[in-house]
Amino acid sequence: MVQQWWNDIVRWFNSDGGQTVITSAIIPFIAIVVGGVVAGLIARGAIKRLIAQQDREYKTSAVAALIAAGRRAATWSTLSAPEKDHVDHQLSEAEVRVRLLPVLGATLAADWAAHQLATMKKNSTNYSFQAEQDLADFQDGLIAWQSKPARAKKLFAQDLAAWKYETAAVPTADEQLASKQREWSAAQPHSSAASTSSASSTSATAVLPQPAGK
């Protein structure tokens, strides 16, 4: 039965009617399907390239804005109050743009940049050379992250961990003030007791009776 069906199919393909159906219907249909698949693959590749190009442009723009704001932060001590407010606004906006990037390590890069910017502001007061060096490191770090996100992500994580350890080891001004307040509070009971004892001795001396005849 199967062999008979196969023979019938072969005879139909070899017949004039079969050849007409193959050349006028089957082959054009297969060509249309293959052409659609190829066109879809080409369009998919073009869309991926377009999205990747847009991501690169957006990433470059965000990094460039952060670096431009960092240059102003390196001269923080020379800026007027309105200029400082404007630079702070630029820094905040650029930092948010970096955090929103769909790139590996974007959050770490923003945290690293925020710490570097704060350091540049502080060093711009007395150490202009150090501020310039911080700016160079800042630019090199962000450019390296833009080129090789995975490698720069590890460096950012190491720097943040080291800075966190240093911050924990050195007490801040608020912590030093709180420590002094605790020491002062601990010394108060002893001082109060000493004052009370001194006052009692003075009162006792004041009421002692004077010898007769004097």
The number of beta carbons lying within 10 Å of the beta carbon of residue 133 is: 14
State how far the Cα of 55 lies from the Cα of 63, in Å rounded to an integer: 12
User: In sequence order, what are the residues at sequence separation of 6 or more whose Cβ sits closer than 8 angstroms to the Cβ of residue 101?
Assistant: 55, 58, 59, 62
Q: What is the per-residue pLDDT across 145-180, written as a single tens digit (0 to 9) for each?
A: 888 888 877 888 888 888 887 766 555 555 556 666
User: In sequence order, what are the residues at sequence separation of 6 or more whose Cβ sits closer than 8 angstroms to the Cβ of residue 61?
Assistant: 97
105: left (phi over 0), alpha (psi -120 to 50) or beta: left
Q: What is the per-residue pLDDT across 23-65, written as a single tens digit (0 to 9) for each?
A: 777 888 888 888 888 888 888 888 888 877 877 888 888 888 8
Amino acid at 205: T
Specify the pLDDT at position 128: 64
- pLDDT of 195 higher than 60: no
Higher pLDDT, 185 or 189: 185
State how far the Cα of 104 lies from the Cα of 150, in Å rounded to an integer: 7
pTM of the complete model beyond 0.85: no
Query: How does the average pLDDT of the chain come out, rounded?
Result: 76
